Amino acid sequence: MNMVVCVKRVPDTSESEVHIDASGKDIDKSRLSFGINECDNYAVEEAIQIKERLEGNVTVISLGGKDSDEVIRMALAKGGDDAIRLEDDAFAGGDALAVAKALAGAVKGLEYDIVFTGALTDDDGYAAVPVALAELLGVPHATYVKKVEILEPGKKAKVGRELEGGLMEFLEIDMPCVLGIQTGINEPRYASFKGIKQAAKKEIAVKSAADLGLDAADIGEAGSWAVLEQFTPPVVGEMAEILEGEPDETAAKLAGILKEKGLV
């Protein structure tokens, strides 16, 4: 079984006050700590567990600068075999589709049975990369996956997808495929001291857009369908207005307010 795991280095904002930076297009990260995206951590663990059961190879891929080596090496320390980091100014400012294009460019040069990603990222939460990546690779996908059972190595798997209300959907999927992993599918391990020492010696192949045969016009901000223009803090407005009365009466009031504010 050959597997690829896509990981991302993200800031931890869970217990920090977030401020918009001077550019207006990002947050001030100077006092934030960074680590692997939570869902990606579970994806790494799932790939390693499958490798331990069935043997195979795990390649870790991340898009980002030198700082991303931190999360790449941690994945290697846990049991990953090879690593690729995608770094190029042309990748900057990309939306989920542009990110998927970059990842697809790297994955296409590999032999793989499963590409694992996190179901969504902690920073933007779009949950679009695994779906877009599968479409670009031309393979089936499943996302919000909380159970993976290999039925025929290299050919077929059974996955359980988390739905609303705690429901699970089970389906069979052909390989190669892309799986977006949800938190809770397993319990991510800690890297051993031996693993960390071994990972420090492994080579991380750095590839540019040109190395992947990608046109700068198709990636990054230039190749994005959605472009971030500016962050703005929420406007503090008046208290909520409670509409009272019969349904027909309150519906008419609501329609009037929406028209008055130009929302319809």
pLDDT in tens, 140-155: 999 999 999 999 999 9
Question: Considering the domain boundaries, does residue 114 fall inside one?
Answer: yes
In a domain, 256, yes or no: no
Identify whether 76 is part of a domain. Answer: yes
pTM of the model: 0.86
Whether residue 255 is contained in a domain is answered as no
Please indicate, yes or no, if residue 64 is contained in any of the structural domains. Answer: yes
State the Cα–Cα distance between residues 89 and 72, nearest whole angstrom.
20
Q: What is the mean pLDDT of residues 88-98?
A: 94
Whether residue 72 lies inside any domain: the answer is: yes
Please provide the average confidence, as pLDDT, over all residues in the chain: 93
Per the domain annotation, does 35 fall within a domain?
Answer: yes
Q: What is the pLDDT of residue 210?
A: 96
Q: Which domain holds residue 46?
A: 2-223
Which CATH number characterizes residue 15's domain?
3.40.50.620
User: 141 and 178 in contact (C-beta within 8 Å)?
Assistant: yes
148 by Cβ neighbours in 10 Å (0-12 / 13-18 / 19+) ranks as buried
In tens, the pLDDT along 205-221 reads 999 999 999 999 999 99
Where residue 237 falls among pLDDT bands split at 50, 70, 90? confident
- Tell me whether residue 77 is in a domain: yes
Number of domains in the chain: 1
